[in-house]
Chain A
Amino acid sequence: MDEGPFEGYRKAIWLALLAVTLWSTTGCESPPDASRPAKKAGLEVISPPEDLPQLDVAVREQFQALWQALESSRDSEVKARADAWGALGRWFDVYHYAESAVLCYRNAHRLAPDEPRWPYHLGVLAAASGDFEDAEKYLTNAVSSAPDEPTPKVRLGDLALEQGDLYRAEKLYASVLEELPQNPGGLLGIGRVALARGDGRGAIEPLSRLVKLQPEATQARYSLALALRAVGDTARADEHLAAVPADNLDQITLDLGSPWDLELNRFDRGARTLTRRGIRAFRRGEHGQAAVLLGAAVAAEPEGAEKRVNYALALRRTGHLRQAREELQAAIRLAEPGSEMLFKAHFEMGRLLSSQQTRAAIEHLNIALELDRRSVPARLELGRIYQLLDRPEDALSQYAAVRDGEQPRPEVSFWHAAMLTALGRYADAIRALEEDSNRLGDARAPALLLARLLSAAPDERLRDVQRARRLLPGSTRGETTGDQADANVSEETVAEATDVLFAETAAMVAAAEGNFDRAITWQRAAVSALGAGGPRSRAAAHIARRRQALYESRQAFPAPWVVDERLVRLPVVPPSAQAPSEVTP
């Protein structure tokens, strides 16, 4: 093991020490020392997180501000000190440093024992860690301090429910609903108690009320579906199940109406939250929304190179290419020398410029490769650009580098051999494909390219049409056991395989066999699909038509692959499914 991922913690500690040293030697205000007020008051002593230097700038600044506030509160009134500890506790809570959060909340609770928020948060954290005894203690304390606030009682009910004490849970939920009949936590809880008793009918009423109040809340919908199913109303149960988004990220949590939870959830998480939401939107294909969120993240942390790159990616998807380029330029400027983010910024810049400014794109991709020689995406992108520039030798060198240093991958094997073919190195291409097939197994695209070479290589000694035929997916149909299931599997294989690459290869093999009618049929199918493929398929359609013309003049051996040929995955209607009139030329 060179360096485990947790090695970072040790580094972080050193970085933190270094930061403290620099802070004190540069004349800045001395770093806050939370242990001083803590020790003074006999409180829990806490320390900054070990990985603080690794956190987002905005999150770090947030921490530093809270730490300073705590330091400043030393001589303040007790309530102000408690609030400072509580606020710092919320920071730890939000960023998943549960143990430090507990210590801060405990200090806050000790300083202000009548304040209900701190025992409430302590209770929630204890419950989440399975310490129900502490949870009970703290939540009961919160109820005592804020008898009119329903949420601690609901949480106590949840605790009782988790432990199977249904009577106690019911009593707690009922006491909440007595005061607030529309309380969502109470309604959900009372419904869950009924469900736990197997009383679907008893659960339907409160849960139906809850669904009316919060129709989008997943818990409400799902619980009601369970209740309806329990009484045999499967149709209505299915309706509610259908309303529950499959992806957790798309689900909406029940709003308990707790001001303390709201306070925690609204705690400013800086650019990280915006980024996370932006990435979710991006992955859902909502690129406009992603751009808004990721742009806001940049505004929150303008010095963050990663934020800039993310924003640029969203801008690119929304067609704002100039702005995307500006963000990437900023990212390149901001990223630390030699960093992964600098690589990412150059790589994305290369991709962005690849269609318009190929020379600049190549420069950026080469810089990216200097930063990470092993980067497969950068080499593949470079290879693609060289192909666009009609530079097959350069493309070949990139694919060869990937092929030599990387696990076998079908696309690399394919393009490497395709460039060899385009350069007229047919024997090398065949050899490379055969080598790769030993490692790759039955990868489809390389196998089809090999079939092309074996049927259409200009050098007759390289041709082996029978083998080429066997390489076509589905060609062994009926040759094995002949049982029905086997035939079905092969039919599916053929259906899946029938795209432009397959169709043109099948045509090439048929032509090599002298079956020009068949070749023309397949080639026409490919041309037809490419014709419907729009401008991106134009070059490929041109090549396909040339081949069709060749077959129509009964000439068998087109170039197996030409330098500007593209791998088009448009589906093709197989000849057997076409009208008879189209089959016969």
Chain B
Amino acid sequence: MSNTDQTPSKTRPLLAPLLLLLAACGVWTSACAPAERSRPDEPIEPPPKAVPVVPPAQRFLDVSAEVGLDFVHDNGMSGERYFVEPVGSGGAMVDLDDDGDLDLVLIQGRPLSPSSEAGSESEEVVRGSRIYRNDLEPDGHGRLRPKLIDITEQSGFRADGYGMGIATGDFDNDGRIDLYVTNFGPNQLWRNVSGDGRIALENVTADAGNGVDDARWSTSAAFTDFDGDGFLDLVVINYVDFRLETHRPCRSAGGRPDYCGPQSYDGEPDRLLWNRGDGTFVDITGIAGLLDEPSSGLGVTAADFDDDGRMDLYVANDLRRNFLWQNLGPGADGPPRFENVALERGAAVSMLGRAQASMGVVAGDLDSDGDEDLFMTHLSADTNTLYANDGRGFFIDRSTGSGLGPASLEATGFGVALVDIELDGRLDVVVANGAVKVIESLAKAGDPYPLKQPNQLFHNRGQGNFVELGAAAGEAFGRLEVSRGIAVGDVDNDGRLDLLLTNNHGPARLLLAAPFDNDGAWIGLRLLTAERGRDALGARVDIVLRNGTVLRRRVATDGGYLSAGDPRLAVGLGHDPEIAEVRVRWPGGGEEIFTNLAPGSYHNLVAGQGRSAASAPYDSTAEPTAGSTRSPE
């Protein structure tokens, strides 16, 4: 998050009528978008204007008000231009009471004054982070609709620091998903002790080991099992060494007082906490190799980029080179070792060799070639970046020509999430935008908070080729706001991924994915460990269709910006949805096959209950070893 962006605001053309017309005429299909238009022997002429291929409708509906989401973020603006103000906060979609639907957690800022940084009491209003329980209820049309109730006070959850981000994962293997809240100030670990239908949390930070309460300015965090020992480890991303008392005045190019950028302060190393398995963590940052690289991290995602069975780590740094921490496996004493290979693997800097102002990051198979690609968001006047994985953990910057790059130039991206809007098996991209530097036209128009920009939805046309849908994607994509985090999950259990959008110094929004007649089929999968049924974060899942298509997904709650999502997989299957089998590679090793999984519902796949993949080559006639089917409640 640097303040060096330059954002000429433009009026977004109203694309919807044009798009409707084009779609109706069938002028374009997703298969007819050539990567290279002109031929070498053609004269140089301006290319035709790109015509997007889009599903013609409002894909997401803002239901915040009607379902009871009344959260408004407070960034504590005091007029001092503290560096923390424009960074925003995140949110989570997480089933805290294990009732089969996703509850919401919204992270809150607080008034910024030197006396408030550490969470001490002050006379100013401190709203604190909030938990909304989701009581799904029938909507009268045969579907379920979220009903949100703020149960923060009853839950015992008291997170009153200046909140930044959230990570979710069952660190104590008791089958309940716990919360880790990052702050501008000491972080907190909240153990989920819910029971009897009541959401309850207890703050176990003090007893969870040194470093869990990291008091630096932490941003994103992620739970994953780095050493395959069956316990979730925790990585905490830190930004820069800014404190209110080290606040310094910064200025624009012309000399006007402005927010500082990350290079005005020293970077901080991230922290890696190794789960001992007894409910506590040990700080292995130094041993693991992460200590010597202070930077300015904002986003993080854990995935097996080189397909060696070990979870690697990618960190998006703001105006400093990004990290790709390759997991080298355990040292002789147990904890894993990491090496930063981002530069030589092509994932540290842009094609021009410059560190970009990376904010949010996601990993996923964006080009449907069976490996983990990376996509991250940046400042306006710089493209968001798609790093395509070659399958061995080496990356090529494919922003150019992908459709993801140029369309991002006009906005400053923060949150990012992967969804499948048509359930066609291809991952689409949602980006939350909002500037960090004054937009001239908004300021001239008297906007008191002139940083607003529209969010973006990029439709995947196949083979890593995207087109931005503009306001046709829904009201939330035409609205001007200062958006930051996106948590993604199926909040109404209809197989479509919904969005929890956080806005800096503004209202959070719940955006429901709308169903359409021409959508594909879907299947929902929840991958659980054998003991106590913890979500198997990091599990690799291949959904093999009868037509030979393989859809690769990863179980994760991390990625994006300051936010955490649904650990369940909701996978679009397209219009030829017959599933031959589902192959699962479990964290820590072992591959299993599950069959007889019907589309249109969620299934629990439990480690040890599938057929061993080693002894079972693909056989579409094999006897079923189905996962348990779980209907949406």
Asked if B47 is an interface residue, CB under 8 A from chain A, the answer is: yes
In the complex, what residues of A have CB within 8 A of residue B400's CB?
161-164, 192, 196
Nearest residue in A to B357 (C-beta to C-beta)? A248
Asked if A340 is an interface residue, CB under 8 A from chain B, the answer is: yes
A163 touches B401 (CB 8 A): yes
In the complex, what residues of A have CB within 8 A of residue B380's CB?
129
B448 touches A140 (CB 8 A): no
Chain B nearest CB, measured from A311 CB (Å): 16
Interface-facing stretch out of B87-95, B218-226, B256-264, B613-621: B256-264
8 Å CB interface, B545-583 against A: none
Nearest residue in B to A130 (C-beta to C-beta)? B409
Asked if B21 is an interface residue, CB under 8 A from chain A, the answer is: no
A167 touches B401 (CB 8 A): no
Query: If A248-B354, A374-B114 touch, does A102 touch B254 (CB 8 Å cutoff)?
Result: no
Query: If A165-B47, A171-B40 touch, does A485 touch B282 (CB 8 Å cutoff)?
Result: yes
B381 touches A129 (CB 8 A): yes
In the complex, what residues of A have CB within 8 A of residue B287's CB?
485, 488-489, 492
Asked if B364 is an interface residue, CB under 8 A from chain A, the answer is: no
| Distance A54 CA – B255 CA, assembled complex (angstroms) | 7
Query: If A98-B6, A163-B50, A481-B276 touch, does A377 touch B254 (CB 8 Å cutoff)?
Result: no
Contact of A407 among B36, B120, B401 (CB under 8 A): B120
Interface-facing stretch out of B73-81, B191-199, B367-375, B415-423: B73-81
Contact of B333 among A137, A172, A485 (CB under 8 A): A485
In the complex, what residues of A have CB within 8 A of residue B71's CB?
none
Nearest residue in B to A133 (C-beta to C-beta)? B49
Asked if B631 is an interface residue, CB under 8 A from chain A, the answer is: no
In the complex, what residues of B have CB within 8 A of residue A376's CB?
114, 245
In the complex, what residues of A have CB within 8 A of residue B254's CB?
49, 51, 55-56, 59, 95-96, 272
Asked if A9 is an interface residue, CB under 8 A from chain B, the answer is: yes
B-side interface mostly = loop
A7 touches B79 (CB 8 A): yes
Contact of B344 among A168, A171, A238 (CB under 8 A): A238
| Distance A531 CA – B77 CA, assembled complex (angstroms) | 50
For B, the interface residue count at a CB cutoff of 8 angstroms equals 94
Asked if B253 is an interface residue, CB under 8 A from chain A, the answer is: yes
Interface string of B111-130 (1 = CB under 8 A from A): 00011011010000000000
Asked if B349 is an interface residue, CB under 8 A from chain A, the answer is: yes
In the complex, what residues of B have CB within 8 A of residue A47's CB?
444
B443 touches A50 (CB 8 A): yes
Asked if A234 is an interface residue, CB under 8 A from chain B, the answer is: yes
Asked if A406 is an interface residue, CB under 8 A from chain B, the answer is: yes
Asked if B175 is an interface residue, CB under 8 A from chain A, the answer is: no
Asked if B506 is an interface residue, CB under 8 A from chain A, the answer is: no
- Max chain B Cβ within 10 angstroms of own Cβ: one of A6, A405, A406, A483: A6
Query: If A1-B78, A130-B407, A272-B255 touch, does A407 touch B38 (CB 8 Å cutoff)?
Result: no
Contact of B47 among A163, A237, A248, A272 (CB under 8 A): A163
Asked if B392 is an interface residue, CB under 8 A from chain A, the answer is: no
Nearest residue in B to A270 (C-beta to C-beta)? B255
In the complex, what residues of A have CB within 8 A of residue B49's CB?
133
Interface string of B377-409 (1 = CB under 8 A from A): 000110100000000001010001111011111
8 Å CB interface, A371-412 against B: 374, 376-377, 405-409
Chain A nearest CB, measured from B35 CB (Å): 5
| Distance A237 CA – B343 CA, assembled complex (angstroms) | 11
Query: If A50-B443, A99-B441, A100-B440 touch, does A406 touch B245 (CB 8 Å cutoff)?
Result: yes
Chain B nearest CB, measured from A266 CB (Å): 15
Asked if B141 is an interface residue, CB under 8 A from chain A, the answer is: no
A140 touches B77 (CB 8 A): no
| Distance A2 CA – B255 CA, assembled complex (angstroms) | 24
Contact of B40 among A99, A167, A219, A241 (CB under 8 A): A167
8 Å CB interface, B302-344 against A: 319-321, 333-335, 343-344
Chain B nearest CB, measured from A24 CB (Å): 23
Asked if A486 is an interface residue, CB under 8 A from chain B, the answer is: yes
Asked if B85 is an interface residue, CB under 8 A from chain A, the answer is: yes
In the complex, what residues of B have CB within 8 A of residue A51's CB?
254, 256, 443
Query: If A5-B85, A129-B8, A129-B10 touch, does A484 touch B344 (CB 8 Å cutoff)?
Result: no
Top 5 nearest A-B pairs (CB, nearest first) are A164-B401, A222-B353, A56-B255, A130-B409, A407-B118
Binding site for B on A (CB under 8 A): 1-10, 47, 49-51, 54-56, 59, 94-100, 102, 125, 127-133, 136-137, 140, 156, 160-168, 170-172, 175, 192, 195-196, 198, 218-219, 221-223, 226, 229, 234, 237-238, 241, 244, 246-249, 251, 269, 272, 340, 374, 376-377, 405-409, 439, 441-442, 481, 483-486, 488-489, 492
19 contacts between A and B (CB under 8 A): A1-B78, A5-B259, A6-B447, A96-B253, A98-B6, A127-B409, A129-B8, A131-B10, A160-B47, A166-B401, A171-B42, A195-B396, A196-B401, A218-B354, A221-B353, A248-B355, A251-B354, A408-B118, A489-B282
- A192-B351, A229-B344, A406-B245 provided; 16 other pairs, C-beta below 8 A? A2-B79, A5-B77, A5-B85, A8-B257, A51-B443, A96-B6, A167-B36, A167-B39, A218-B354, A219-B352, A241-B343, A269-B253, A272-B255, A374-B114, A409-B245, A485-B334
